[in-house]
Amino acid sequence: MIQLNAAVFLWGFTGVLGRAISLDSIMLVWWRLLITMISLWVLYLVQAKARRIPTRSILVISLIGTVQALHWVCFYASIKLANVTIALTCLSTSALIAALIEPLVIKKKFDFFEIVLGLFAIAGILIIYNTHLNFSAGIIIGLVSAILTVIVSVFNKKIIDTYHAEHITLYQLTGGFFGMTVLLPLFQLRIQNTWSAPTPFDWLWLIILSWVCTIFTFFLYIRSLKNISAFTMNLTLTLEPIYGIILAFIIYHENKLLSRWFYFGFALIVLAVLFHTWRLIYVNGKKSDQP
């Protein structure tokens, strides 16, 4: 339980680091992936954990990794355009977005209760959007980020039983790096002066982001899964945006930029996510009890 909470706290800390790094979101993600990819390959080769998998599978996992990279680009762009609090608030809707997207992908029936909860989350976002129009671009990009992370999650569920989680992570991050590298010229055409090197402080934050908040956090998360229930895991994961927002309030004093309507809208989102988590575990528990 302590390991999972530590992992979720460190995930929430990524937003704070993203604001501290002076690079734009595209280069931030490119450098993060480069450092993480090299570190993981060295670590896995030393530990003899690197395994060859079929080429077709590498391509599929790499494509998912590229979508993951684009999710990070949108997440950090949301921070740059608005702030950490807004970006994490948008990301907190991902569980409810997943409830609406998953039936389309795995072809199951829509759940009326989940649709209602989704409407609560949408209401919360609309309240925040209409009362913080100066952050409108950040909110829109933040919601795109949430949709992209849901897509990654849905497709990961299709391959998680086929390959070890560590190998999926290795090839996804590697594929994400090469995918971002291929897309860099396109970004360069759309956004001038995209290419930039990190400053000395950026290097420090990028190393912390890559080693502590990505690699170390992943190992904490995997180990914690062996010792806790699904309910505890899902409930704890909902704390990620809360941890991040508290950190943003303490470090950057972002609470001073928000009106009371933000807290009302955020409360609607959190309640919807908590109800969705409780119901998801309750329904799965009922199914597992059936003979």
CA dihedral (135, 139, 145, 148) positive or negative: negative
Print pLDDT tens along the chain (291 aa): 677 788 888 988 999 999 999 999 999 999 999 999 999 999 999 988 888 888 999 999 999 999 999 999 999 999 999 999 999 999 988 878 877 777 777 677 777 787 888 888 889 999 999 999 999 999 999 999 999 988 888 888 788 778 887 888 899 999 999 999 999 888 877 766 567 889 999 999 999 999 999 889 888 876 776 666 555 666 666 778 889 999 999 999 999 999 999 999 999 998 888 887 777 666 655 554 454
**pTM, two decimal places:** 0.90
Helices 25-46 and 200-207 cross at an angle (nearest 10°) of: 50
| SS3 state at 47 | coil
CA dihedral (15, 261, 116, 283) positive or negative: positive
Residue 189's Cβ-count burial label (10 Å; 0-12, 13-18, 19+) is: exposed
Question: How far apart, in whole angstroms, are the C-alpha atoms of residue 96 and residue 119?
Answer: 9
